[in-house]
Amino acid sequence: MERIVLKPAVCICFLVCCFISSNLKAQTVPSTAEPERLEQRFKKPVQQKSVIEPPIPEPEKQVSLDEMKKIRFVLKKINVEGSTVYAQHLFNRWQKKIVHKSISLAVVYKFAEKITKKYRDDGYLLSRAIVIPQQIENGEVTIKVIQGYIGNILVRGPIAGTKTFIK
C-alpha cells in the first residue's frame, strides 16, 4: 500500500521539478568571451544631447608693454576699489610722486603691481590688484583689488604640529 501512495507523490515532485527547471534553462548568462562585449568595451559613451556647454569667452586682447608706453596722459587721481584691508589714504601717499604728471599706461600697471606686492608681503596671498578695462577721462584711473579668501578647510586624519595654524 505504501508503494502505491509513494509512486504518485514521487511523480508529482518530479514533474514540478522539471517544470521549474525548464524556466531556469530558458535564460542564458552571457559569456565574457563574446565578441560583442569586447566591442562594447571600446565604444565611446554617447553624450547626451540635452547637455549645453557654456561658450568659453575669448580672452581680451592684452596691450603689450611697448604699446602701454606709447599711451600717455596726465594723471589726476588713482581710485582703488575693493580694498578693505588698506585705506585709500595709503594709496594716495603712493601716488603723490606721479599725480599731475604726464605718465604712460605702463606706470599705472606698475602701480597695480605695487598694490599686489603689498598684499602678498603682508600675507594676503590670494589678493590681487588689476587695472580694469576703462576709458580714462579727466586723468582718473581705477584699479580694482580682488581680495581672495578661503572659506572652509576640512582636515582629515591626525594633525601634526601646531593646531593654531589651522584655526
CATH classification of the domain holding 94? 3.10.20.310
For residue 103, give the C-alpha cell.
605718465
- Rounded to whole angstroms, the maximal C-alpha distance in the chain is 127
Per-residue pLDDT band for 115 (boundaries 50, 70, 90) equals very high
Which residue has 602678498 as its cell numbers? 120
Q: pLDDT tens across 43-59, in order?
A: 676 666 666 677 776 66
Q: What is the reported pTM?
A: 0.57
Per-residue pLDDT band for 23 (boundaries 50, 70, 90) equals low
- 77: CB partners within 8 A, 6+ apart: 95, 99, 139, 140, 141
* Domain range enclosing 87: 70-146
Is 77 inside a domain boundary? yes
Q: Phi and psi of 23, rounded to 5°? A: -70, -35
Q: pLDDT tens across 27-47, in order?
A: 566 665 666 666 666 667 666
Question: Angle at the Cα of 98 (from 97 to 102), degrees rounded to 5?
Answer: 145
Is 109 inside a domain boundary? yes
Is 19 inside a domain boundary? no
Is 134 inside a domain boundary? yes
Is 142 inside a domain boundary? yes
DSSP-assigned letter for residue 137: B
Per-residue pLDDT band for 95 (boundaries 50, 70, 90) equals very high
H or E stretch including 35?
helix 35-42
Question: What is the DSSP secondary-structure string of 101-127?
Answer: SEEEHHHHHHHHHHHHHHHHHTT-TT-
Is 93 inside a domain boundary? yes
From the list 109, 106, 80, the residue with the least C-alpha distance to 93 is 80
Domain count, the chain: 1
pLDDT score of 92: 92
